[in-house]
A and B are shown apart, each in its own frame.
Chain A
Amino acid sequence: MGCIEELTYDILAKGLSFPESRQFIEKHYDETYQIKPGTKLFGDPLIGIPPIVIGIEGDMIIFPFVKPCHGTFLLRIQGLEEAERIRQTGNRVTDKKK
C-alpha cells in the first residue's frame, strides 16, 4: 500500500479513463500543472499517460490516482507543503478562469 491510501482524501470521481481524468482537471481547476510520470506526490510515484495534469486550489491538490484493477480515481488531498513544492517545480499550464 502506498502512502496516499493512508492519507485522508476525497474521491471526486472514479471509473474514469486517464484522458477523462485529465479533461476533468483542466475543465474544473484554474491552477493546473503538468507533472512527469513517476514524480512523487505524497510519497507515491504518479502514474499516468504524459502529460499528467494536476490541479491546485489553495492548499488542496487534485490529481489522478491509478489503481490496476479499479481504473483512475480523481483524489483531493490537503497538503500545503506538497502544493508549494508543485508550484515551484511543476510546469504551470494555465492561470485563467474558464
Chain B
Amino acid sequence: MEDSSKKALLVLGCPEVPIQMALALYAGHNLIQSGYAVLTAGNPSVMKLIKTSDPDSHYLKKLTTLEQSIEGITDRNDTYDICICFAHNDAGISYAATIRYLLPDTRFITLVFGREADTLSTRIEYPGEVITEIAVHNPIPIRRRLQEVMGWDALKS
C-alpha cells in the first residue's frame, strides 16, 4: 500500500506525555494506509519506546534522530508531502518551528497536547494546521480531530 512517491515526516517530542506514543503509532498506521512512506524522528527515549511498542515495525517502519531528520532537509534536500509535529512543551514548539521553517511547502500539522496545550498553542506563529487539545492520558478527542483533519475517518467508513 506504500507509495514511495508520497513521503511523510513525523516529529515526536519528549515522550513523557502518554498519548504521544499512541498517536504516533496511529498516525503511522494511517499514513501507511494512505500510501505514504513514513519517517519518524525523535530523541533516543522515543526510539526505545517505539521499538518496544512496535517491535516488528508494523506502524513506524523507518526511524531517525531529530538532528538527522533536520540534516536530511538542510544537507540532502529531503522533502516531504506532509509533516506532523507533536508538541507538549516549549521545546516541542521550537522543533516544530524549525522544521516548518525548513519545509515551507509541506502540508504541516502541529498536534499540541498536554496540560498546557492552550497556552502553548498561542506561541505558534508559523503557518500550518494546528490541533490543540488538553490531553494527557486519553487520546480519543485529539485522535478524532486528527482523523477529521486528515480525512482518516472516511477511510474507515
Asked if A69 contacts B93 (CB within 8 A), the reply is no
Q: In the complex, how many residues of chain B place their beta carbon closer than 8 angstroms to a beta carbon of chain A? A: 28
Q: Which positions 17-41 of chain A face chain B at CB distance < 8 Å?
A: 17-19, 36-38, 40
Could you give 11 example pairs across A and B, Cβ below 8 Å? Answer: A2-B67, A17-B123, A19-B123, A38-B98, A47-B70, A48-B94, A48-B98, A50-B97, A68-B89, A68-B92, A69-B16
Interface of B with A (CB < 8 Å)? 13-16, 42-43, 45-46, 66-67, 70-71, 73-74, 89-95, 97-98, 101-102, 123, 125-126
CA distance A70 to B89 in the complex (A): 9
Q: Nearest chain A CB to B157's CB is how many angstroms away?
A: 36
Interface of A with B (CB < 8 Å)? 2, 17-19, 36-38, 40, 44-50, 66-72
Asked if A37 contacts B102 (CB within 8 A), the reply is yes
Asked if A37 contacts B97 (CB within 8 A), the reply is yes
CA distance A22 to B27 in the complex (A): 33
Main SS at interface, chain A: loop
Given A38-B98, A49-B123, A66-B91; 13 other pairs, CB 8 A cutoff? A2-B67, A17-B90, A18-B91, A36-B101, A38-B101, A38-B102, A47-B98, A49-B93, A66-B94, A67-B91, A68-B43, A68-B46, A68-B89
Asked if B73 contacts A49 (CB within 8 A), the reply is no
CA distance A38 to B14 in the complex (A): 19
Most chain A beta-carbon neighbours within 10 Å: one of B67, B71, B90, B93: B90
Asked if A72 contacts B94 (CB within 8 A), the reply is yes
Q: Nearest chain A CB to B3's CB is how many angstroms away?
A: 28
Asked if B101 contacts A47 (CB within 8 A), the reply is no
Asked if B97 contacts A48 (CB within 8 A), the reply is yes
CA distance A78 to B95 in the complex (A): 25
